[in-house]
Chains A and B, each alone.
Chain A
Amino acid sequence: MRCEDLSKVVVIDPRDNVATAITKLNAGSIVTVRIGQSEKKVEVRQPIPFGHKLAIKRIEKGEHVIKYGEVIGRTTQAIEEGEHVHIHNVESMRGRGDIT
């Protein structure tokens, strides 16, 4: 394992449960995440492409995914801390013809 620079992920709002990778992250690396005034280390469990999101805490199945301090969707399966958060495990709750 190797320590990564602080500026590799961004958490926009302290309420967020995801961070945005502003560089490509390798599985197994450790990133330091700044959440408001506090900091926490998160082990990256899967490769995260530039601009994609990773969970900074465990998110249960059906729970809201929070970014910008707002709801951006809900999980379709539980997501572990450090896992890639994207269309394979999150769904939109708006503008869909298949749900009401």
Chain B
Amino acid sequence: MNENRTPAKFLGYGRPDGSVGIRNHVAIIPTVCCANEVAKKIADQVEGAVALPHECGCEATPQLEIPTRTLIGIGRNPNVAAVLLVSLGCETMDAEHIAKGVAGSKKTVELIVIQEVGGTIKAVEKGVRIAQAMVQDSSEMKREAYDLSNLIVATECGGSDLTSGIAANPAVGAAADMIVRAGGTVLLSETPEFIGAEHLLAKRAIDEKVARRIYEIVRWWEQRARDEGIRFHMLSRGNIEGGLTTIEEKSLGAIHKGGSSPIQGVVEYAEKLAGRGLCIMDTTGDDINSNTGMLAGGAQIIVFTTGRGSPVGTPIAPVIKVTGNPTTYEMMRDNMDINAGTILEGKETIEEVGARIFKEILEVASGKRTKSETLGHREFAIFRIRGHAY
């Protein structure tokens, strides 16, 4: 059999709204940070349930827009089989609205309100019973074969060094091109890391409107950096020690991870993706926030490049770690899934590593666990306009 002629498939869970999950989590989502501990205690009691504690939920109305969109998007993510929302009762966040938003995907959603059921013990008890039933129901779902038009692969980079731009990101880009050629969707994010490279992205936009939007989102972040009085550079200490000198240099390396496909569109943070191919999501360069936004947009899997070595995962989606730094791979083997350091050692080409990453994406999509999953990395944070690094 000619392998090239066999369309790539993965084994996933079909959801009632037509989307396909690659994990089968029961998500316990607090609608406000005051409900975090109750949500955690429920998840602690129920094997197969995962809590998603966060810092939001009691913002003034204009600042509620992003957390609201994010929580609905996370609840609707195809990796989530069922959702239990935990509300305190007096928060500014509209928990009923979140429940309705998630229920739009036709999956099971329940809401408990701590102040209405009578405190922590009663809320935990009620929540455990609901979550237990949800896990038992969802455990009956079976994986089936789906083609890549059902897969959204998010790309992310964190703890970048010089190897990110010349080895890991180009290798992930090669895999991203393979995903797009197979009919799948790839997300490129972290807008501050387009600064100095936006003209190269805009050239690949499918039309004038998308090109203009790319310039607009970069201008917004650059203005924000100016307003906040950034002096000299927009890099982290580790970036500089790793050999990166300017944001322009970092950006020119960072954009490689999206590959070379035409850019179909630009969506807002946590906005649901429509269409296929390579898309941009306007997110912060803060990795955890960016990951959350892409999952809320519907991504089922994240491919994450790291030169310095980042351990982070997510509560609902696997994260494949790729490092282009041979020393980091040796030092942090427990956290790294793919060694792209072979490129700098002259042992493999960018295309060969790209093909390995593509294969790993399909295997992980079909159920293979990543190191961030086996180690229980569930970092989760929602973007808020103020107070974030780049």
A interface residue numbers (CB < 8 A to B): 7, 10, 12, 20, 22, 49-53, 65, 67-68, 70-73, 85-87, 90-98
Contacts and interface: CB of A to CB of B under 8 A. Distances in A.
B222 A94 contact: yes
Interface of B: 161-163, 165-166, 192, 195-197, 200, 221-222, 225-234, 240, 242-243, 245-249, 252-253, 307, 325, 327, 344, 346
A71 to B, nearest CB: 6
Contacts of B252: 67-68, 70, 72
Per CB-CB distance, the 8 closest pairs between chain A and chain B, nearest first, are: A51-B162, A51-B243, A92-B246, A72-B249, A95-B225, A97-B229, A73-B246, A52-B243
B227 A97 contact: yes
B233 A92 contact: yes
Contacts of B232: 87, 91-92, 96, 98
A30 B221 CA distance: 42
Contacts, number: 103
A96 to B, nearest CB: 6
Contacts of A20: 162, 166, 243
Please indicate which of the listed interface residues B225, B226, B248, B253 has the most CB atoms of chain A within 10 Å of its own CB: B248
A95 B230 CA distance: 7
B166 A72 contact: no
A73 B195 CA distance: 12
Nearest to A88: B245
A50 to B, nearest CB: 8
Contacts of A7: 346
B247 A94 contact: yes
Contacts of B242: 51
A20 B163 CA distance: 9
Contacts of A72: 196, 245-246, 248-249, 252
Nearest to B341: A22
A92 B162 contact: no
A92 B196 CA distance: 10
Contacts of A68: 165, 252-253
- From DSSP, what is the main secondary structure of chain A's interface residues? loop
A92 B234 contact: yes
A95 B192 contact: yes
B222 A95 contact: yes
Given A20-B162, A22-B344, A96 B230 contact: yes
Given A73-B245, A97-B231, A10 B346 contact: no
B289 to A, nearest CB: 18
B376 to A, nearest CB: 31
B245 A86 contact: yes
B196 A70 contact: yes
Given A20-B166, A95-B192, A97-B231, A73 B161 contact: no
A70 to B, nearest CB: 5
A73 B196 CA distance: 9
A74 B75 CA distance: 46
Given A92-B234, A96-B225, 18 more contacts: A20-B243, A50-B327, A51-B163, A51-B242, A51-B307, A52-B243, A53-B162, A72-B248, A73-B245, A73-B249, A86-B245, A91-B233, A93-B196, A95-B195, A95-B226, A95-B230, A97-B227, A98-B232
